[in-house]
């Protein structure tokens, strides 16, 4: 019999602790071994109960979640899912938490957020982070990115080229590595990162401050051009469209795909249709199969395709499924994704 995933819920809200406990108790492969109203209680329970996964609120009394996360990652590193309110302040704190080593993020249940939908996402995220490759997480921050050696003249001729990227668990830091590895004149990039609404704006803002490209959360009708990277907004699908020689994006609602909105497959299918052989598709770390079929469609339409390798993935789910389908032309480590994508663009 497979070992159950032991979860510790750390949140100052008794309501959230009860909701999470009730939702998770329905799953045969998950066990809530304890709850804690603050980091001090959590510290003692971690030592005693040895959980596999922690859900962690950021804003708590006595010690804030970020301070606790720093200490946890230094002395007792574990997969951590950040739970935060849907606020601008919450979004910025979440970005800091992800940079400190948290591997997933989700919204607190509220009147605007279905507890049932939250339960499905919580279970999926716990199963995903329980598979986290802790060794890869450590290497991710220490392994130097291969800086692209690409002549400006070569890229200046790529005005009709597009790079499409999909990522999930562990993808916030993986996307940071890829985008900070791109020169300012790189082809336009469209990217889907599985992330709740309101957090994607803070995510794009963070990447914009680190990258030589202009990075922004996409809005319906935004144009795509060299030097611009558009991040799909949380709770909306993003599709690539074309008008004459110009690319733009459509941002829309619609059914969840692979339990996700935005979904990588939705983006990749549109890139296959409207960019075809002018595109490079990249699938990064994440749980599940979102993006695998879309990457295959891109390859069949003449696009060049890449998947992140297992060793550098936090969770080797999405790339693995794409590779199994024969959708990935090349499989490369994270720190070589940017250079390889640019090489394929100008070949």
Where in the chain are the domains?
Answer: 5-130, 152-346
List the catalytic residue out of 11, 222, 265, 290. Answer: 290
Q: Using 50, 70 and 90 to split pLDDT, how confident is the model at 86?
A: low
Rounded Cα distance, 240 and 271, in Å: 6
CA nearest 312: which of 329, 330, 284, 334?
A: 334
Q: Which two tokens stand for residue 225?
A: 């051009």
- The per-residue pLDDT for range 146-178, each reduced to its tens digit, is 666 554 445 555 568 999 999 999 999 999 999
Q: What per-residue confidence (pLDDT) applies to 15?
A: 84
Q: Using 50, 70 and 90 to split pLDDT, how confident is the model at 337?
A: very high
Q: What per-residue confidence (pLDDT) applies to 120?
A: 73
List the catalytic residue out of 84, 107, 168, 312. Answer: 168
Q: What's the CATH architecture for 152-346?
A: 3-Layer(aba) Sandwich (3.40)
Residue 37 has pLDDT above 90, yes or no: yes
Q: Does residue 126 contact residue 56 with C-beta atoms inside 8 Å?
A: no
Q: Is 197 helix (H, G, I), strand (E, B) or coil?
A: coil
* Annotation says 290 is catalytic: yes
Q: Using 50, 70 and 90 to split pLDDT, how confident is the model at 87?
A: low
Residue 221 half-sphere exposure toward CB, CA atoms < 13 A:
0
CA nearest 298: which of 341, 256, 332?
A: 341
Q: Which two tokens stand for residue 82?
A: 């950040």
Residue 69 has pLDDT above 90, yes or no: yes
Q: What per-residue confidence (pLDDT) applies to 198?
A: 80
Rounded Cα distance, 46 and 33, in Å: 10
CA 149 to chain centre: 27
Top-confidence residue, 5 or 117: 5
- Plot region of 282 (φ>0 → left; ψ -120 to 50 → alpha; else → beta): beta
Q: Is 240 helix (H, G, I), strand (E, B) or coil?
A: strand
What residues contact 157, with CB distance under 8 A and at least 6 apart? Answer: 346
Residue with tokens 């497979």: 2
Average pLDDT across the chain, whole number: 88
Rounded Cα distance, 16 and 22, in Å: 10
Residue 123 has pLDDT above 60, yes or no: yes
- The per-residue pLDDT for range 187-202, each reduced to its tens digit, is 999 999 999 888 899 9
Q: What are phi and psi of 230, to 5 degrees?
A: -110, 125
CB atoms within 10 A of CB 121: 20
- The per-residue pLDDT for range 293-310, each reduced to its tens digit, is 999 999 999 999 999 999
Average pLDDT of the residues in 304-320:
95
Q: Please tell me the pTM assigned to this model.
A: 0.89
Quote the percentage of the chain above a pLDDT of 90: 64
Rounded Cα distance, 342 and 263, in Å: 24
Average pLDDT of the residues in 20-24:
89
Kindly list the distances between the CA atom of residue 10 and the CA atoms of 21, 71, 102, 195, in Å, as whole numbers in the listed order: 11, 15, 14, 21
Q: What per-residue confidence (pLDDT) applies to 111?
A: 47
Q: Which two tokens stand for residue 160?
A: 């009709």
Q: In what order do the strands lie in the sheet with 223-224?
A: 223-224, 246-252, 237-243
List the catalytic residue out of 194, 237, 258, 269. Answer: 194
**Do 5-130 and 152-346 agree at the fold level?**
yes
Rounded Cα distance, 85 and 102, in Å: 16
Q: Of 102-106, 150-154, 203-207, which has the strongest mean pLDDT?
A: 203-207
Q: What per-residue confidence (pLDDT) applies to 93?
A: 85
Residue 140 has pLDDT above 70, yes or no: no
Q: Using 50, 70 and 90 to split pLDDT, how confident is the model at 62?
A: confident
Question: What is the CATH T-level fold of the domain 5-130, as seen in this structure?
Answer: Rossmann fold (3.40.50)
Q: Does residue 286 contact residue 317 with C-beta atoms inside 8 Å?
A: yes
Q: What per-residue confidence (pLDDT) applies to 128?
A: 86
Helix 88-100, helix 65-75: angle, nearest 10? 10
Q: Does residue 109 contact residue 116 with C-beta atoms inside 8 Å?
A: no
What residues contact 93, with CB distance under 8 A and at least 6 apart? Answer: 58, 59, 65, 66, 84
* Annotation says 194 is catalytic: yes
Q: What per-residue confidence (pLDDT) applies to 1?
A: 43
Q: What per-residue confidence (pLDDT) applies to 112?
A: 42
Q: Does residue 80 contact residue 188 with C-beta atoms inside 8 Å?
A: no
Residue 209 has pLDDT above 90, yes or no: yes
CA nearest 77: which of 54, 93, 45, 57?
A: 54
């Amino acid at each position: 019999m497979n070992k159950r995933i032991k979860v510790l819920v750390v949140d100052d809200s008794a309501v959230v602790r009860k909701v999470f406990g009730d939702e998770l108790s329905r799953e045969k492969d998950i066990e809530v071994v304890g709850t804690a109203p603050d980091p001090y209680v959590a510290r003692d329970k971690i030592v005693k109960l040895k959980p596999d996964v922690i859900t962690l609120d950021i804003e708590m009394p006595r010690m804030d979640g970020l301070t606790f996360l720093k200490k946890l990652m230094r002395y007792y590193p574990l997969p951590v899912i950040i739970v935060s309110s849907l606020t601008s302040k919450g979004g910025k704190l979440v970005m800091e938490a992800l940079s400190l080593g948290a591997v997933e993020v989700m919204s607190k249940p509220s009147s605007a957020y279905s507890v049932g939908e939250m339960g499905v996402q919580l279970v999926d995220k716990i199963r995903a982070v329980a598979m986290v490759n802790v060794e890869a997480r450590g290497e991710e921050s220490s392994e130097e990115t291969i800086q692209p050696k690409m002549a400006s003249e070569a890229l200046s001729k790529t005005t009709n080229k597009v790079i499409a990227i999909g990522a999930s668990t562990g993808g916030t830091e993986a996307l940071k590595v890829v985008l900070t590895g791109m020169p300012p004149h790189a082809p336009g990039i469209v990217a889907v990162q599985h992330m709740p609404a309101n957090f994607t704006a803070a995510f794009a803002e963070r990447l914009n401050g680190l990258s030589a490209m202009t990075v922004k959360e996409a809005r319906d009708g935004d144009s795509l051009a060299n030097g611009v990277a558009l991040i799909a907004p949380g709770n909306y699908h993003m599709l690539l469209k074309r008008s004459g020689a110009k690319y733009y994006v459509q941002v829309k609602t619609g059914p969840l795909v692979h339990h996700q909105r935005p979904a990588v497959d939705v983006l990749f299918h549109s890139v296959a249709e409207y960019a075809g052989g002018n595109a490079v598709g990249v699938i990064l770390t994440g749980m599940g199969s979102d993006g695998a079929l879309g990457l295959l469609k891109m390859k069949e339409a003449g696009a060049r395709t890449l998947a992140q390798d297992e060793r550098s993935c936090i969770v080797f789910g999405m790339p693995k499924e794409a590779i199994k389908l024969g959708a990935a032309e090349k499989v490369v480590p994270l720190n070589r994704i940017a250079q390889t994508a640019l090489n394929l663009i100008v070949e």
